[in-house]
Chain A
């Protein structure tokens, strides 16, 4: 059974993610202790919140070095929504703030300070992460987006004529801008697919 460690840094919907992952048959632990997280096959970094506050909490809980070292050993990480953004070099939410810099690129506001809230589909299917990526809808809720190396972008979505990277990847680290854990069957299938591919290759 694949062991998933959810980074429990007290920001975000970690409990609902925990129960959904359990329902998919994974062994799941939420923790901020590196000795517990390090026993996982894959780390999931969740997030509902603001970027600077999240980075402060990761720092306060001594998780930054752990996550950077984990990725540098090419061990799997999946970031969800804000968790995806934290994987990047820096963000401009509220103020300029450094991220984990595991995936090079910046987090910038959507045009006209818009929010992208609701169910949207993806424009491209890449790396065969999920066969129905273009057909299925996923739940988005964010106002900042990834801007960076196109090589890191696996999939985009479109909102008000603006292209928004929806899945990014570098090495064995994947970030999804939407909430697969809140995207019903499509999201559950995507989680199973991403986790299995990152862990088992």
Chain B
């Protein structure tokens, strides 16, 4: 039986990993390679690397970073997010070591490019990022480029629910991101019903909370960011505590070294 996943989320800004709070306040953590190595060694089910200053500055994907991470010889699936402008970028990102990509700005800008990405890479490689804010029991989509929020309209919904383009939704609680035990479960129930699984992220840290979220049939994975950096072997410790029905057993065996 396929297991649900714990995804280690790494947020990168100005070339370093940061502890992010609502994507508006940041504290430095360190070198991306060190954090990726840790998550691989601790047995994360996937690692999401989100480079948050690429799209907004029109820099394209961070291929240098992907190359550095590739050389670590890690054997955990990598999801990459940040700066993907077109299908050529997407293909290069996969070629440089990512297994899947996250798109956000492209969802609103260029459906043709999305179709091309799917034609080249298959939609199983494409995840739609949907940052949302919960207000008065309603879900609002948050545009991190314009810094505006608005209700999810039918056009946007038709793109993010198109199984020919997208395989999973990364549903981000923007406001609670970075704050312990703060993810509001209502976001899952209020999100429009579509035939795609959700990866949920933003304020998820506690075992009870993870069990509750993973009990939703629509949820295939939880993303955890800041809280994994607080202690050694944090993923194994979480996996030992979360219901074993949902997750793969903890893994203690990955070994990383740099190549001379």
Residues of the A chain whose Cβ atoms lie less than 8 Å from the Cβ of B11: none
Residues of the A chain whose Cβ atoms lie less than 8 Å from the Cβ of B257: 23
A1-51 interface (Cβ within 8 A of B): 10-16, 19-20, 22-23, 48-50
User: A188 contacts the other chain (Cβ, under 8 Å)?
Assistant: yes
CB pair B124 A115 closer than 8 Å:
yes
A116 with B2: in contact, given A48-B121, A50-B119, A137-B248 (CB under 8 Å)? yes
A143 with B123: in contact, given A13-B99, A115-B167, A185-B254 (CB under 8 Å)? yes
Question: How many residue pairs between the two chains, A and B, have CB atoms under 8 Å in the bound complex?
Answer: 128
Interface string of A131-160 (1 = CB under 8 A from B): 000000101111100000000000000110
B85-143 interface (Cβ within 8 A of A): 91, 94-100, 118-125
Residues of the B chain whose Cβ atoms lie less than 8 Å from the Cβ of A10: 91, 95
User: B37 contacts the other chain (Cβ, under 8 Å)?
Assistant: no
Query: In angstroms, how far is the closest chain B Cβ from the Cβ of A82?
Result: 7
**Size range of the interface on B?**
35 or more
B59-93 interface (Cβ within 8 A of A): 67, 70-78, 91
Q: Nearest residue in B to A19 (C-beta to C-beta)?
A: B73
CB pair A118 B45 closer than 8 Å:
yes
Can you give 23 contacting A-B residue pairs, CB < 8 Å?
A10-B91, A12-B94, A13-B99, A15-B96, A15-B97, A16-B70, A16-B97, A19-B72, A23-B257, A48-B125, A50-B118, A50-B121, A113-B163, A115-B123, A118-B3, A118-B45, A119-B2, A137-B249, A143-B167, A159-B2, A182-B76, A184-B40, A184-B254
